Structure 1
Amino acid sequence: MTQPLASRLEAMLQAVYPAHDCDALAESLLAAMGLAQNTPSPPTHQNLWDQRDVFLITYADSVQREGEKPLRTLKRFLDDCLRDSVSAVHILPFFPYSSDDGFAVMDYLAVNEAHGSWADVEAIARDYRLMADLVINHMSARSRWFENFRKRLDPGRDYFFEARPGDDISRVVRPRTSPLLSPVQTDDGERLVWCTFSEDQVDLNFANPRVLLEFAAIIRQYLEHGVRVFRMDAVAFLWKEPGTTCIHLQQTHELIKVLRLLIEHHTPDAMVITETNVPNRENLTYFGNANEAHAVYNFSLPPLLINTLVTGNCRHLKTWLMSMPPAQMGTTYLNFIASHDGIGLRPTDGLLDDEERQRLVNTMESFGGKVSYRRTADGRDQPYEINIALWNALSGTASGGADHWQLQRFLCAHTIMLALEGIPAFYIHSLLATENDYSRVEHTGRLRSINRSQCQLAELEQVLADRSSHHGQVFHELKRLIAIRRAQPAFHPNATQFTLHLGLQLFGFWRQSTRRDQSLFCIHNISCEPQQVALGDINLIGTDEWTDLLTGQPVTDLTATVTLKPYQSLWLSNR
């Protein structure tokens, strides 16, 4: 018999707040979410997605139109250009903010007036599954809560994590080179506040259960405005204990379970996605036992796939793919190659050695990329991420430099992503094949701005209509590939996947639909030289009729040897 919601919640809270009245806290959380103690539980291990799901990642103001709020322009662009291609849209933080392009939130419950209003957000949510950021680890130093912290007033007086002089922070894992502790003058003296990311992004104190209650109320508001997917930003750093690494602590995992439980009981088809830019094995822990994240970002995919395509060698990508556990029903991977951030390098720990990683960094720098660093516990600065537009990242090879295969290489990367187990997500500037934006870097002084261009809708529509431009070619071909993917049950995010062994220049895997009514062999030449595939070696069943979905051509001789051009792909299907 299913345990009552309040009892399940109380048991989770006991693991985080053993000294508190967790029965009363559970009741307060349910009240904040508008839930009754006997609210029925949603089905477990339920897939909230299928092969038709494709995410778009964008800022609210990535596409602009004179005289119109950007959220309305975004809706116009989605409806006119992507209605048949994407099912969901992740709008990066659209709240009032003070820095980091939205990730230093000043007010969680307001829409940035420059972007639009809640009505504009709701209009997008009515036609697309809306994903929004829950910027849960930190808040702006210019927020009302932090102003109250300085004045020693509620709410906010004890909402931020403080360190004491002499606290052991030697083991803390850092994603930045900036100081971890920032001295702040308050009305009762100087305080040391914890700043994992920047001085303007002050870490919240979840050891105070009132902070958890605040976020329950925030989540309820987001759900009522139409948000159906929650991206838990930087959640791995949520719980702090001096003397530890302050990352992936058990209390963090328990709090994700608490929030997941509240969210899915309020709205059973809502999803939680954890954003944990960390080594692969650590990332996988955020599935829990199918009771934490519904989906995790597949952070190792971008650096490994880019490395594969610029070296012409798929050994590491293939080894990683073979090591990836199939996601349990009710969980899945979110696959992406590029995002608003850079290409993370920590997810290559244990997958690329130092020399290979440095070669990748050097190659990306030769294609115009920049490198951001983090500070290790022993005080060394190590490359943390590569800042570069994906179009430029795939402009050539490590050994030969820029070449004339850029378009084919770029499309090959997305063809692989679309076929892999999981839900594909396209960053808007990859869908548009945008180049490095050096002027924006100069304007903002931030390396990540290299891949955060803003464009005018009229100009964008004009360039996308031009099939002679690489922007138009990429956009229309990616839409074609998406349409093919969405029609294949073998591309369901939880369909079976096995890695094929076809040498180092051919990257292949097999997908089979959950009903076993479709098999798909996905084979990709990841090199700049032609490669041969012996169809007899991949075990095509002779009694089935096979077709290459990418060309529409039937396969009539199952023993033939096929030559793949540089960066050409095959999707061989038996239906």
Structure 2
Amino acid sequence: MSEAQHQETFELAALRQRFVSMFSVARRAAAERQFDRVGPALAERLAAVYGGTAGFGEWMATVYEDLGRLAATRSAALVALDQQRALQPDWFLRQHMVGYSAYVDRFGGTLAGVGERIDHLRALGVDYLHLLPFLQARQGESDGGFAVSSFEHVEPALGTMDDLETLASQLQEAGISLCADLVLNHVADDHPWAQAAAAGDAAMRQFFHVFPDRILPDAYEATVGEVFPQAAPGNFSQVPAMGGWVWTTFYPFQWDLNYAHPPVFAAIAHALLQLANRGVKVFRLDSAPFLWKRLGTLCINQPEVHQILAALRACVELVAPGVLLKAEAIVPTEQVSAYFGRDELRGRECQLAYHSGLMASAWAALAEGHAGLPKQLLADTPPPPEACGWVTYVRCHDDIVWGVLRPLAEAAGEDFSRRIGAAAAYLEGRTPGSFARGAAFQTLDGEGVHGSNGMAAALVGLPEHMLDDIQPAALRRYVLLYALAFWVGAVPLIYMGDELGQYSNTDPADAGRVALDGRWLQRPALSTEALAALSSGRGVPAATFAALTALVAARRHQHWPSASKVSVVAHPNPGLLIVQRGDETLGIFNFSASHAMVDLESLGVGTGWSDLFASGADVMTSRDLRKLQPWATLWRSRTHD
């Protein structure tokens, strides 16, 4: 053994000792086994990013000691769940998971109020609840709660950390895993770290990117894009208390963290694992692509980002192995796939990632009346690694970010702004004859295209007043988009209010918020009127709720191979998207405003199929000949004796 190998063995042994020393004698053998499975990989990931930093060895030892302390204090109930999930690491890919995404105050008022809505979630078939930011946020403007002031406290109006633990326990008893946001890229300017830095604490100042003048900021700006070009142009804000310019990718009150400084990683890992010990089962890693800055680049998706996420995943596996990480990377699909991990990191980063490209391409296809974009996107989407899967969705708290489709449009030799701009205009109701009533978001000029806002009901043409007559075509459009998300995803998400067909937010109390940030259009409070209509079986709420529960039931009918590649089945009708996953399921989606005839026997997918779900798919004289109404959906599954 060489001298270097002797040194490596000694260092790992020391790290092992620091980790296991935090456990009681009775638990040390198990802790040693856990370290042996994960500890060396974590050391490798940390060394890849921070190995050249002065004092790296001692810093890493303190990290392992903190991880040991967090693991040793994890509750017996959570440890038992960790062990159960370890026996079935793909437990969330069994095609039974159905997610729901909501703001605490908009859904239940408080964390305790969310607990009172559990029966509603179970009736819908939900077993994964993503609660959007509920940690203490900045006073005043807070980017919808994403400007976090404390990782240690819940927003006071929503409850306490004890309330969070109670809710997590209630949800677990109901078979629902709680997902929470962890904002990785930044903290609010009133977070204790930022306040200490502004007060002159030299150690905390290193947590942020601070520049004495505009020389380097201007150099970075030459290649870095803008997230909110209208509301918050540029990426740097002058902060007199800091004596210069602070990197602020999103809003001036959100200060980017400096992940080149090792204590930043340690502090974020600690914050995540403290919440995991409170009962959070899944973390949506907000703003993940932005963590590493490199001059002359876009400062997104840098190689160090993936090493950092792999290290964070290793920390989780060491302390709370039943917890999942979900990448929020609203970038083109090819770039999103990297957040599962590639090459030596394949399958070692996030277990889940948002398929934002599928969402945007489906809306564009609905506007265009043909399935070209989702066909191309699904054909180019590689299957996730083992024990990883896509989170799919129709709408969310954010805008439809059209930029994720730029590579698709340009690969087809088309002008992105012209093609996608036309789709956006249609969904925003700016095209004569459009059924949609959305709104533009953060567009600097009439010819630009950035994002579009609006609830699903408004975008598909459902009535604004929930007891008005429903056009069957509008309901089919609604079903079409959710059916595609349910068919493709490992974890499809229902956005709060969509199950009731709620329209875009017109509450006068929210008018100021909407004017300041148009994304509040898709953040209406859960309607008590709509819930009452649902309970009496009336109007839009009854129709949309029934459609979603039918999709949930059909999806759970049999085991679908989530990780297998989705293959596009050729068909001459451009309005049809026909896709097959593995050898078990077939999905047919008509994105056109015209009827379509489909001879199922001619598709070349073999025989032995039966219908699993249908919306507007009429059986003709032959069992294999179908007349698809405009915006129709047909799911088929392989028949087994």
> TM-score higher than 0.5 here?
yes
The residue that corresponds to 1:136 in the other structure is 184
Distance 2:447 2:303 in 1: 28
Distance 1:282 1:306 in 2: 20
The residue that corresponds to 1:500 in the other structure is 569
Distance 1:162 1:381 in 2: 35
Q: Which amino acid aligns with 2:352?
A: A
Structure 2 residue 48 is the aligned partner of structure 1 residue 15: yes
SS at match of 2:223: coil
Structure with more of its chain in helix, by fraction: 2
Distance 1:282 1:72 in 2: 38
Specify which of 215, 237, 255 is matched with residue 268 of structure 2.
215
Tell me, yes or no, if the aligned pair for 1:536 and 1:559 is still in contact at 8 Å. no
The residue that corresponds to 1:63 in the other structure is 107
Distance 1:37 1:107 in 2: 22
Structure 2 residue 146 is the aligned partner of structure 1 residue 80: no
Would the alpha carbon gap of residues 247 and 91 (structure 1) be closer, same or farther in structure 2, given more than 3 Å must change?
same
Tell me, yes or no, if the aligned pair for 2:443 and 2:449 is still in contact at 8 Å. yes
Would the alpha carbon gap of residues 449 and 556 (structure 1) be closer, same or farther in structure 2, given more than 3 Å must change?
closer
Q: Which segments of 5 or more consecutive residues in structure 1 lack a partner in the other structure?
A: 397-401
Tell me, yes or no, if the aligned pair for 1:509 and 1:522 is still in contact at 8 Å. yes
Specify which of 239, 250, 253 is matched with residue 184 of structure 1.
239
Distance 1:133 1:111 in 2: 12
Structure 2 residue 267 is the aligned partner of structure 1 residue 202: no
| Pairing 1:303-342 to 2, within 5 Å after superposition | 303-342=360-399
Q: Which amino acid aligns with 1:242?
A: L
The residue that corresponds to 1:254 in the other structure is 307
The offset of 1:193, in angstroms, is 0.7
Would the alpha carbon gap of residues 94 and 267 (structure 1) be closer, same or farther in structure 2, given more than 3 Å must change?
same
SS at match of 1:325: coil
Would the alpha carbon gap of residues 392 and 545 (structure 1) be closer, same or farther in structure 2, given more than 3 Å must change?
closer
Tell me, yes or no, if the aligned pair for 1:228 and 1:271 is still in contact at 8 Å. yes
Would the alpha carbon gap of residues 80 and 180 (structure 1) be closer, same or farther in structure 2, given more than 3 Å must change?
closer
Specify which of 102, 105, 109 is matched with residue 148 of structure 2.
105
Tell me, yes or no, if the aligned pair for 1:104 and 1:140 is still in contact at 8 Å. yes
Tell me, yes or no, if the aligned pair for 1:159 and 1:208 is still in contact at 8 Å. yes
Tell me, yes or no, if the aligned pair for 2:595 and 2:629 is still in contact at 8 Å. yes
Would the alpha carbon gap of residues 183 and 381 (structure 1) be closer, same or farther in structure 2, given more than 3 Å must change?
farther
Tell me, yes or no, if the aligned pair for 2:618 and 2:628 is still in contact at 8 Å. no
Specify which of 414, 417, 432 is matched with residue 354 of structure 1.
417
Per-residue CA deviation, residues 12-51 of structure 1 (Å, 9 max, x unaligned), is 2222221233332322222222269999999799423111
* Percent identity of equivalent pairs: 23
Q: Which amino acid aligns with 2:484?
A: I
Distance 1:205 1:244 in 2: 16
Distance 1:538 1:35 in 2: 58
The offset of 1:212, in angstroms, is 1.4
TM-score normalised by L of structure 2:
0.80
Q: Which amino acid aligns with 1:452?
A: R
SS at match of 2:270: helix
The offset of 1:480, in angstroms, is 1.8
Distance 1:507 1:553 in 2: 14
TM-score normalised by L of structure 1:
0.88
The offset of 1:209, in angstroms, is 1.3
The offset of 1:373, in angstroms, is 3.2
Q: Which segments of 5 or more consecutive residues in structure 2 lack a partner in the other structure?
A: 1-32, 73-78, 410-415, 430-435, 463-469
The residue that corresponds to 1:399 in the other structure is none
Q: Which amino acid aligns with 2:159?
A: G
Distance 1:568 1:436 in 2: 24
The residue that corresponds to 2:58 in the other structure is 24
Q: Which amino acid aligns with 1:388?
A: G
Would the alpha carbon gap of residues 54 and 403 (structure 1) be closer, same or farther in structure 2, given more than 3 Å must change?
closer
Structure 2 residue 542 is the aligned partner of structure 1 residue 472: yes
Size of the alignment, in residue pairs?
Answer: 553
Tell me, yes or no, if the aligned pair for 1:540 and 1:558 is still in contact at 8 Å. no
SS at match of 1:160: coil
Please, which moves more after superposition, 133-142 or 554-563? 554-563
SS at match of 2:149: coil
Q: Which amino acid aligns with 1:530?
A: H
The offset of 1:471, in angstroms, is 2.1
The offset of 1:111, in angstroms, is 0.8
Tell me, yes or no, if the aligned pair for 2:455 and 2:522 is still in contact at 8 Å. yes
Distance 1:4 1:559 in 2: 54
Would the alpha carbon gap of residues 475 and 37 (structure 1) be closer, same or farther in structure 2, given more than 3 Å must change?
closer
Tell me, yes or no, if the aligned pair for 2:130 and 2:180 is still in contact at 8 Å. yes
| Pairing 1:118-517 to 2, within 5 Å after superposition | 118-126=161-169, 127=172, 128-153=176-201, 156-165=204-213, 166-167=215-216, 168-169=219-220, 170-177=222-229, 178-186=233-241, 190-288=243-341, 289-352=346-409, 353-366=416-429, 367-373=436-442, 382-395=448-461, 405-438=473-506, 439=508, 442-444=511-513, 445-455=516-526, 458-490=528-560, 492-502=561-571, 503-512=573-582
The residue that corresponds to 2:433 in the other structure is none
The offset of 1:555, in angstroms, is 8.6
The offset of 1:330, in angstroms, is 1.5
SS at match of 1:487: coil
SS at match of 1:227: coil
Q: Which amino acid aligns with 1:426?
A: I
Tell me, yes or no, if the aligned pair for 1:506 and 1:523 is still in contact at 8 Å. yes
Structure 2 residue 590 is the aligned partner of structure 1 residue 525: yes
Per-residue CA deviation, residues 54-100 of structure 1 (Å, 9 max, x unaligned), is 11111111224xxxx52222222222343561111010110111211
Distance 2:629 2:37 in 1: 59
Would the alpha carbon gap of residues 190 and 73 (structure 1) be closer, same or farther in structure 2, given more than 3 Å must change?
same
Tell me, yes or no, if the aligned pair for 2:137 and 2:148 is still in contact at 8 Å. yes
Report the RMSD for the aligned CA atoms in angstroms. 3.2
Distance 2:562 2:523 in 1: 28
The offset of 1:6, in angstroms, is 3.9
Per-residue CA deviation, residues 395-453 of structure 1 (Å, 9 max, x unaligned), is 29xxxxx9862121111111111111432111113223221214466221211100011
Distance 1:308 1:380 in 2: 22
The offset of 1:242, in angstroms, is 3.5
Per-residue CA deviation, residues 104-130 of structure 1 (Å, 9 max, x unaligned), is 001111111211222332233232211
SS at match of 2:148: coil
Distance 1:245 1:540 in 2: 43
Structure 2 residue 158 is the aligned partner of structure 1 residue 115: yes
Would the alpha carbon gap of residues 540 and 184 (structure 1) be closer, same or farther in structure 2, given more than 3 Å must change?
closer
Tell me, yes or no, if the aligned pair for 1:533 and 1:563 is still in contact at 8 Å. yes
Would the alpha carbon gap of residues 320 and 440 (structure 1) be closer, same or farther in structure 2, given more than 3 Å must change?
farther
The offset of 1:540, in angstroms, is 5.8
Tell me, yes or no, if the aligned pair for 1:313 and 1:504 is still in contact at 8 Å. yes
The residue that corresponds to 1:538 in the other structure is 603
Would the alpha carbon gap of residues 469 and 559 (structure 1) be closer, same or farther in structure 2, given more than 3 Å must change?
closer
Distance 1:125 1:102 in 2: 20
The offset of 1:262, in angstroms, is 0.5
Distance 2:520 2:365 in 1: 25
Q: Which amino acid aligns with 1:241?
A: R
Would the alpha carbon gap of residues 144 and 562 (structure 1) be closer, same or farther in structure 2, given more than 3 Å must change?
same
Per-residue CA deviation, residues 164-211 of structure 1 (Å, 9 max, x unaligned), is 42112111232122232111122xx62211100001111112222111
Q: Which amino acid aligns with 1:12?
A: R
Q: Which amino acid aligns with 2:309?
A: I
Specify which of 51, 59, 71 is matched with residue 95 of structure 2.
51
Tell me, yes or no, if the aligned pair for 2:534 and 2:541 is still in contact at 8 Å. yes
Distance 2:421 2:298 in 1: 25
SS at match of 2:129: strand
The offset of 1:324, in angstroms, is 0.8
